[in-house]
Chain A
Amino acid sequence: MSYTDLSVNIGKLHLKNPVLLASGTVGYGNEISKFTDLSKIGGIVTKSLSLKPRKGNPPQRIVETPSGMLNAIGLANVGVEAFIKEKIPFLKELNTTIICNIAASSIEEYVECTKILNPVDTINAFEINVSCPNVKEGGLIFGNDLNSVGRITEMVRSATNKPLIIKLSPNVSRISEFARIVKEEGGDAVSAINTLVGTSFDIWTRKPKIKNVTGGLSGPAIKPVALAKVLEIKRNVDIPIIGIGGIMNWMDTVEFMIAGATAVQLGTVNFINPNAGVEIVEGLHSYCEKQSIQKLSDLIGSFQL
């Protein structure tokens, strides 16, 4: 079987294939590696890191919804220091691209995290989370504000020469304006989309089903929204897009690439099928063969309107 070239470039970041695992759905790689060969996928994005460890939100943190789920984990993480000491040694041996996600409560914290992590060779790129819907400080306060996103991009850019990806919120009216400011301030790419704000009530107790009241909606339920956001960015701004939102299989991946995504991230599906990434890479090979596509990257933004 002749294998197609599945590699893609996100700015200067070269990926052997476009399949990444999304932040917050793969931990720091160790648990999921018992079910799947991470060296076969394009890379992983580690759980959002803050300067200090975060305990996260009290239970209940998740609830299932039609074709999706709501989560309000609250950025539970080990903090930058423990990440370098305890998690990097494992990540180093994975033979896959490591993108380190950072979430912070202030612009200064974003910059400080980046400065501390920047010298770590194992980290190939940074993804900046300006769009977590489940924390009081930072998160959507930044993600909804063009000036903040621009300022964070500019400041973090000055702290690293590694590829810089900004993860955008869908909870805005014009996502392409956010992508534009990321490009203007020196960002290499955008990830779209983070989760949509949602909620769910127990009709017998009249209480919200998650303690945080609202959470982030993910899963197949949000795929059409995510595709529309990717398309909007693609048609308005010349910047690489990493498509995220309800991808379950290789067909969804192809759809995102046609809509304009250079690469994709798998999220919720990892909880259901931790080997989904490898299966999608195999599916992309056979799709390209059937379609006589030599380079998968030719598919990016190839929509016919």
Chain B
Amino acid sequence: MYIEKSRVEWIKNLLPDTFLLRVYSPLIASKIKPGQFCNIKVSESDFPLLRRPFSICEVDGEFLHFMFDVHGEGTKILSNKQKDDVIDILGPLGNGFNYSGDYSTAIIAAGGIGIAPFPYLIQKLADDKKVISFFGGRSKNNVIEYGMKNLLISTDDGSIGFKGNVVQLIESQYSQFRNESVRIFACGPNPMLKALQEFSIKNNIECQISTESAMACGFGICQGCPIDNADGDGYYLICKDGPVFDAKMVRL
């Protein structure tokens, strides 16, 4: 784990409020795995005081890419960074996706900005793995396709693709991969992850979910990001035990 002062190479819009940030961060780039995250200090002042956690979106040599929505003050400041600004990045943090092993098809399930960790995962998946990606958004104006492969889209209003949510879309396509050995990788809002958790357990499909939480430190000392274990008799910490969990391990 490193604390790396990283130079901004560029930042660009994917959507009006969705950004892709490229920073020079060779130490973290050499170690980070898909599904891990970094905790970024967006300003040098006490405002905002805490770092902000972001999934790794892509690694390109010694550069890191982060994808984020402008959501509050921290992400607003980050979105205003310019080339050659320096940001303070702590990482890599947490446990990423387990994508090795014996399965033939990787199902990517992304809800909104939950797409962020998947370009890097898709990059890293072995060539012999078939990839089908599912993205769910509110409408056609919220669709992000960046870094996806074999993409199917759902929108809540049906303005593009399947009308409904992304889990309903996956269920509608289930007959296609019913007989294949499948592993689902999911990231998105909690209700989506919960629906997918039920779907995967019911159909006995391996499913890994990337969770999120407010947190301070990102490495286990503040204890600020608990998530119930499956039995409900204890907590995991999202930062240290996650953010990626087997869907059977946690109670959402």
Seen from chain A, the residues whose Cβ lies within 8 Å of a Cβ on chain B are: 24-27, 31-32, 34-35, 55-56, 58-64, 66-69, 71, 73, 76, 219-220, 248, 268, 270-275
Contact B234 A248 (CB under 8 A): no
Q: Which residue of B lies closest to A77 (CB)?
A: B223
Give the number of residues in B that approach A within 8 Å (Cβ atoms): 28
Q: Is B51 located at the chain interface by the 8 A CB criterion?
A: yes
Contacts of B178-228 to chain A: CB distance below 8 A: 213-217, 219-227
Q: Which residue of B lies closest to A36 (CB)?
A: B3
Interface contacts (Cβ under 8 Å), in number, total: 92
Residues of B within 8 A of A273 (CB): 3
Contact A271 B217 (CB under 8 A): yes
Contact A59 B221 (CB under 8 A): no
B35 CB, nearest partner CB in chain A, Å: 19
Known: A26-B221, A35-B219, A55-B234. 18 other contacts (CB 8 A): A24-B223, A25-B221, A27-B220, A31-B221, A32-B219, A32-B221, A61-B223, A64-B50, A64-B214, A67-B49, A68-B49, A69-B49, A69-B216, A76-B226, A219-B49, A271-B216, A272-B49, A274-B217
Distance of A63 Cα from B48 Cα, bound (Å)? 12
Residues of A within 8 A of B65 (CB): none
Q: Is B33 located at the chain interface by the 8 A CB criterion?
A: no
Provide the B213-248 mask, 1 if CB < 8 A to any CB of A, else 0.
111110111111111000001110000100000000
Q: Which residue of A lies closest to B72 (CB)?
A: A64
24 contacts across the A-B interface (CB closer than 8 A): A25-B221, A27-B220, A34-B1, A35-B1, A35-B219, A55-B233, A55-B235, A59-B226, A60-B213, A60-B214, A61-B225, A62-B216, A64-B48, A64-B214, A68-B49, A73-B222, A76-B223, A76-B235, A219-B46, A220-B46, A268-B216, A271-B216, A272-B50, A275-B3
Distance of A67 Cα from B45 Cα, bound (Å)? 9
Contact B224 A61 (CB under 8 A): yes
A272 CB, nearest partner CB in chain B, Å: 6
B219's contact among A31, A58, A60, A66, by CB below 8 Å, is which? A31
Distance of A69 Cα from B50 Cα, bound (Å)? 8
Residues of A within 8 A of B90 (CB): 35, 274
Distance of A284 Cα from B25 Cα, bound (Å)? 30
B250 CB, nearest partner CB in chain A, Å: 12
Residues of A within 8 A of B226 (CB): 56, 58-59, 61, 76
B214's contact among A26, A31, A62, by CB below 8 Å, is which? A62
Contact B240 A73 (CB under 8 A): no
Contact B47 A59 (CB under 8 A): no
Contact A272 B51 (CB under 8 A): yes
Distance of A73 Cα from B1 Cα, bound (Å)? 25
Q: Is B22 located at the chain interface by the 8 A CB criterion?
A: no
B189 CB, nearest partner CB in chain A, Å: 16
Q: Which residue of A lies closest to B227 (CB)?
A: A59
Residues of A within 8 A of B225 (CB): 59, 61-62
Provide the B10-42 mask, 1 if CB < 8 A to any CB of A, else 0.
000000000000000000000000000000010
A141 CB, nearest partner CB in chain B, Å: 22
Contact B214 A67 (CB under 8 A): no
Contact B50 A271 (CB under 8 A): yes
B243 CB, nearest partner CB in chain A, Å: 14
Known contacts A34-B219, A76-B235, A270-B221: A63-B214 contact under CB 8 Å: yes
Residues of A within 8 A of B48 (CB): 64
Distance of A274 Cα from B49 Cα, bound (Å)? 14
Contact B3 A56 (CB under 8 A): no
Distance of A61 Cα from B219 Cα, bound (Å)? 16
Contact A56 B46 (CB under 8 A): no
Contact A31 B49 (CB under 8 A): no
Contact A73 B224 (CB under 8 A): yes
Residues of A within 8 A of B221 (CB): 25-27, 31-32, 270-271, 274
Distance of A268 Cα from B240 Cα, bound (Å)? 18
Contact B47 A66 (CB under 8 A): yes
A207 CB, nearest partner CB in chain B, Å: 14
Distance of A26 Cα from B222 Cα, bound (Å)? 8
Distance of A94 Cα from B235 Cα, bound (Å)? 28
Residues of B within 8 A of A56 (CB): 223, 226, 235
Distance of A274 Cα from B221 Cα, bound (Å)? 10
A48 CB, nearest partner CB in chain B, Å: 11
